[in-house]
Amino acid sequence: MKSHYQILVIGGGSGGIMTTANLLSKDKSLDIGLIEPADWHYYQPAWTLVGGGTYDFEKTKRSMASVMPKGVDWIKDYATGFNPEGNAVSTKENGDITYDFLIVSPGLVMDTSLIEGLTESLGKGVVCSNYTDPKHTWEVLRNFKGGNAVFTQPTTPIKCGGAPQKIAYLAADYFKKNGLKNKSNVVFATPGSVIFGVKEIRESLMQVISKYGIHFKPFYAPIKIDGENQMVTFKGVGTGENKCVINEDNELREVMSGEQIIEMPFDMLHLAPPQTAPKFVKESSLVNDAGWLDVDIHTLQHNKYPNIFGLGDVAALPTAKTGAAIRKQVPVVSDNIRQLIAHHKKGNKSYNGYSSCPLVTGYGKMILAEFDYDNNFIPDPKLKQMLVFNSEKEHWRLWMLKKYGLPYLYWNKMMKGKEV
């Protein structure tokens, strides 16, 4: 194994593979090494559909070897630390590897220790998560006989911020279709103040919530899970008028105590676990105060080390952490590095914070949220032309895009480094 590369990439997820493939498609002579220990690469956006029983889990995975771009050296190892002054990355098995340019895209990790009781409860009984085991979610959903079906998310940033609510809509639709609607209370509890940050999408989603009769609970931050006794504890994070309120009829059987501490029984609990940057990144000199990779939000170049770039879920970017965001970040990183190699100055491509969230709102229905750093709704003109309708409204064509179009695009275009 070589100990130096012109370009060293950390991460065999969407960001690392797509950027590597894009760079090599532009210039085959580039000398690139990619550090990634995993045997499998997963198309995680389909895990929502797996959890709803409408997609085969096995179709979401491919061998890492099959997605590695031709011409890259795959270093099957763990990155363990950085020495940015010495232009080196340390690894578990291969010692230090040096670089001219470094691309950091290892994704993020689940940290169940950040919610009391979650480590012991997750994946057992009726406590499930599409983020960790979507097949178990489907099992819990299928076996649900009524009561409180609670869906929630943590206070940390998470990948695909819409995923915790998508499964709530699928569950509500499933209960409706299977005669359980009148026996069920579907609850969506979030630490956030609104269901979605983009006005056009928020208005459509509030109609979806109303249609299903979902109990929407803003300012609810989960702090404790008791899987054995099927009780979730929330802390109210609102102030003044935004304090958590228990409805008069209290059909959810909530109990409030002390300073906005709410206990809620559940017969099914789905949550996104708290998420952070991987330990070797979080404990390095490359992060901001919040523990995410400190890069310029438009150029994706590190704010302190000009030969380091970062993209994907690990990057400190004020936009949603999605594969669609990575799709728009890749050309910026690729262009900047190639321009620096050729002309010793960055290119002029700039990332505007584009991200998109395909919000499944039921079986055969979807809304497509596309937005930028300022939460402007910015539908892709090519897509709008193809769909001939507004993507902020529910439509079956968008469901077809989610179930068939996007996976095809991912494996056959994006993973090959094509700019789409």
Catalytic residue among 79, 149, 311, 357: 357
Chain centroid to CA 213: 26
| pLDDT, position 174 | 98
Locate all alpha helices (DSSP H) within 57-181, ordered by sequence.
64-67, 118-121, 134-143, 163-177
- Domains plus CATH for the chain? 4-108+277-351+405-416 (3.50.50.60), 112-274 (3.50.50.60)
| pLDDT, position 381 | 78
Tokens in use for 236? Answer: 């109210």
DSSP-derived letter for residue 13 is S
Catalytic residue among 160, 293, 398, 401: 160
Q: For residue 12, with 0-12 CB atoms within 10 Å meaning exposed, 13-18 middle and 19 or more buried, which class applies?
A: buried
Locate all alpha helices (DSSP H) within 37-111, ordered by sequence.
47-51, 64-67
CB 291 within 8 A of CB 114: no
Identify the CA nearest to 320 among candidates 293, 352, 354, 289: 354
- Alpha-carbon distance 312 to 84, whole Å? 20
The H or E element containing residue 232 is: strand 231-236
- Alpha-carbon distance 368 to 253, whole Å? 34
Whats the size of the chain, residue-wise? 420
| pLDDT, position 218 | 96
Active site residue 244: no
Task: Using 50 as the pLDDT threshold, list the residues of the chain that sit under it.
Answer: none
| pLDDT, position 387 | 65
| pLDDT, position 246 | 84
Tokens in use for 178? Answer: 């299977």
- Alpha-carbon distance 209 to 168, whole Å? 10
| pLDDT, position 261 | 96
417 φ, ψ to 5°? 85, 10
CB 120 within 8 A of CB 142: no
| pLDDT, position 245 | 79
